[in-house]
Amino acid sequence: KDDKKLEKIEFSNLKQTYALNEDVTLQLKSDAGREIDSVQYFINDKKIGSVKANTVLTYNLSNAKHGTQNIKAIAYTKGKPNQTTTTIDVFSHVQPAFYTYTIVNTYPHDIKAYTQGLEFYGDVLIESTGNGEGRGTGTKGKSSIRKVNAKTGEVVKINELDDAIFAEGSTILNNKIYQLTYLNNEAYVYNLESLQKEKTFPYFQKMQGWGLTNDGINLYMTDGSDRVYKVNPTDFSLIDYFVVSTNRGTIGNVNELEWVNGEIYANFYTQDAIGIFSPIDGTVNGVVDLKDLKSKVTQHPDLDVLNGIAYNKKTGTFFVTGKNWDKMFEIKINK
């Protein structure tokens, strides 16, 4: 009788969605009265504990990343293993605040700049552009790293890249400019004064490059998913990552990044909004709806999405623009 097929086991009383830091209570139910001697539990194939018989295992999700978690249980009955799996979702427990904005000033911006990265260095803007194709005319842009006069829009100095390179986000760290590439799987380091390229780093894995910022020590990069990767600037190795999430789900298409007072402000590709999230676990704490801005720039066939956030420490204001926008807006976020 004991040699017959093991009975079906399944998880009892699991919810579909949990919050970060919440306890998940793990226990099995069996469709027959067979005695379970012990159970081992795993989350994403990492063992989180074991219990004698079929007692309850309580596990706190404080170390989880946002998103889907694969849960596995192996129950042993008289030495025979019986396995079951399921999934739960872990989302943020914070409902984001919605902020408004005020336009402080409007400045000219290069209509041909397919803006990918924007950051202040003193009073000068360092802008990274890609060679995206214009939506209407199909005209290809030119990837570049450039210094821009924030108030006049004048390009003060520029290094244009080869047409084979689609440049992406950029940031300034240790008096160097770091820049990502979209599909070349490599990052570039530039001299801040001359804009000459000094180094090339391969990415830590095959991936797209999107947005880039830093906390004064390490880099944070995005790849178009809901993940933000913390990267070592000396060799571009991966330190850690987190997943951006609200209380309703994880948020993909994380794009251009800006580090402001211990939080990350981000563009989300095709969404005309800025999200503000924690660089520790990716919890979205606030959202700024900027969709009205696109109607305030010159409408033309190659006009593309909002992209580019630069924080001006002196004034506490943000400079924002978009791909092939002829204006840059200085805004104050009203919290």
At 124 the pLDDT is 98
Beta carbons of 61 and 22 less than 8 angstroms apart: yes
At 1 the pLDDT is 43
> Cα dist. 250→118, 283, 284, 288, 334 in Å?
25, 9, 9, 17, 25
At 5 the pLDDT is 58
Phi, psi (5° rounding) for residue 7? -70, 160
Q: Residues 310-330: pLDDT tens digits?
A: 999 999 999 999 999 999 999
Residue 220 pLDDT greater than 90, yes or no:
yes
At 120 the pLDDT is 98
The average confidence (pLDDT) of the chain is 95
At 33 the pLDDT is 65
Report the pLDDT averaged over residues 170-195. Answer: 98
Neighbours of 194 (CB within 10 A): 10
Report the pLDDT averaged over residues 263-278. Answer: 96
Report the pLDDT averaged over residues 288-292. Answer: 96
Q: How far apart are CA 177 and CA 194, in angstroms?
A: 11
Residue 195 pLDDT greater than 90, yes or no:
yes
Q: Torsion angle, CA of 39/43/46/51, rounded to 10 degrees?
A: -20
Beta carbons of 305 and 321 less than 8 angstroms apart: no
At 136 the pLDDT is 86
- The CA-based angle 328-333-335, given to 5 degrees, is 170
Q: Residues 83-103: pLDDT tens digits?
A: 999 999 999 999 999 999 999
Residue 8 pLDDT greater than 90, yes or no:
no
Report the pLDDT averaged over residues 223-231. Answer: 98
Residue 46 pLDDT greater than 90, yes or no:
yes
> Which residues, in sequence order, are CB contacts of 133 under 8 Å at separation 6+?
139, 140, 141
At 32 the pLDDT is 67
Report the pLDDT averaged over residues 214-240. Answer: 98
Residue 174 pLDDT greater than 90, yes or no:
yes
Beta carbons of 49 and 56 less than 8 angstroms apart: no
Residues of the chain above pLDDT 90, percent? 91
For 271-282, give one letter per residue: b (16+ CB within 10 A) or e. Answer: bbebbbbbbebb
Beta carbons of 169 and 256 less than 8 angstroms apart: yes
Residue 4 pLDDT greater than 70, yes or no:
no
Q: How far apart are CA 324 and CA 177, in angstroms?
A: 22
DSSP-derived secondary structure for 246-302: ETTEE---EEEEEEETTEEEEEETTEEEEEEE-TTT-BEEEEEE-GGGGGGSPP-TT
Q: Residues 105-134: pLDDT tens digits?
A: 999 999 999 999 999 999 999 999 999 887
Q: How far apart are CA 85 and CA 218, in angstroms?
A: 37
At 133 the pLDDT is 86
Residue 175 pLDDT greater than 50, yes or no:
yes
At 206 the pLDDT is 98
